[in-house]
Amino acid sequence: MQTPGLDIPAIYADRFDRTGTKKRDRVWRVLCGSFFDAVVGREQDVLDVACGYGEFINNVVAKRRYAIDLNPDCPARLRPDIVFKLCSAEAIDLPDASIDVAFTSNFLEHLPDKAACNRVFIEIKRLLRPGGRFIVMGPNIRFAYREYWDWFDHFLPLSDRSLCEGLRQAGFTIERCVPRFLPVTMEGRMPTPNWLIRIYLMIPWAWRFFGKQFLIIARRA
C-alpha cells in the first residue's frame, strides 16, 4: 500500500512541478554519474521501487533497468528501454531472484505503518538474487524532525537505526549505513550547480552538516 486514500498523480504533479522536473533530472544525473553508478555497477539488473518521474532510473547506468510505481503517469517520463510495472511495492510483478540491485528514494515514509514496510522488505528480498543489494534513501527523522511532517503524505517516521534494525530482522545484512547523506529536499529556486554537487559528494565530512537523508545499503544472503 502506498499513500492510502490520496490522489497520487495529483501529488506527484504538484510536488515535482514546484521542485522543477528539469532541475531534479539534472541533479540526479550528477548524483548517478558521480556516486550511484559506481555503487550500483554497470552490469547489474536494477529496479527502482516507487520510481516517481524516473530521475534515478533514467540516469543510472545498468545492464537492464526496471521501474515500478502506482502512478499511471510515470511511463511517459521514463526512457523507452526501461521496463515499467504499474504495481504496489508489496506485490511486484517480476519473477523471483530476477534483480541484482533494488533502489528506492523517499518512499518508505509514505507507507502507512511498519507492517507494510516489512512486507516491502520481504518482497524486495524475494526479487533479489543471492548477494543482491537493496539501496535505500529517505529523510532521517533523527535529523529532519522539523521538516518530516511538512509533506501531507508522510505517515511513517524512520531513522537510519530503525530502518537498519528492520532490514536485519527481514534477513538482510547491512553493508553500509550513512545516517547523513543528502539534504532533505530539492525544493526552492536557488540553483544547484553541478560542480557544487560533485564537490559535496567527494567530501563526506560535509554530509554531517547538510545531510538529513540516510543512505543504507543492505545485502541479501
Give the confidence band of 6 by pLDDT, cuts at 50, 70, 90: low
pLDDT in tens, 126-154: 999 999 999 999 999 999 999 999 988 89
**Dihedral sign for Cα atoms in the order 185, 178, 152, 10:** positive
Tell me: domain 8-220, CATH 3.10.20.310, correct? no
What is d(CA 47, CA 49) in angstroms, rounded to the nearest whole number? 6
What average pLDDT does the structure give for the chain?
92
Residue type, 97: A
pLDDT in tens, 36-68: 999 999 999 999 999 999 999 999 999 999 999
Where b means 16+ CB within 10 Å and e means fewer, 162-171 reads: bbbebbeebe
In DSSP terms, which residues pair with 218 in a beta bridge? 134, 174
Average pLDDT over residues 13-19: 60
Given this model, what pLDDT does residue 185 score?
82
**Dihedral sign for Cα atoms in the order 91, 217, 67, 190:** positive
Average pLDDT over residues 3-11: 62
**Dihedral sign for Cα atoms in the order 158, 159, 161, 163:** positive
Given this model, what pLDDT does residue 1 score?
42
pLDDT in tens, 160-201: 999 999 999 999 999 999 999 999 987 655 558 999 999 999
Helix axes 194-202, 21-31, angle to 10 degrees: 40
Q: Are 46 and 60 a contacting pair, CB within 8 Å? A: yes
Extract the runs of DSSP E, i.e. beta strands, from 106-212: 128-139, 172-178
Given this model, what pLDDT does residue 7 score?
66
pTM for the predicted model, two decimal places: 0.91
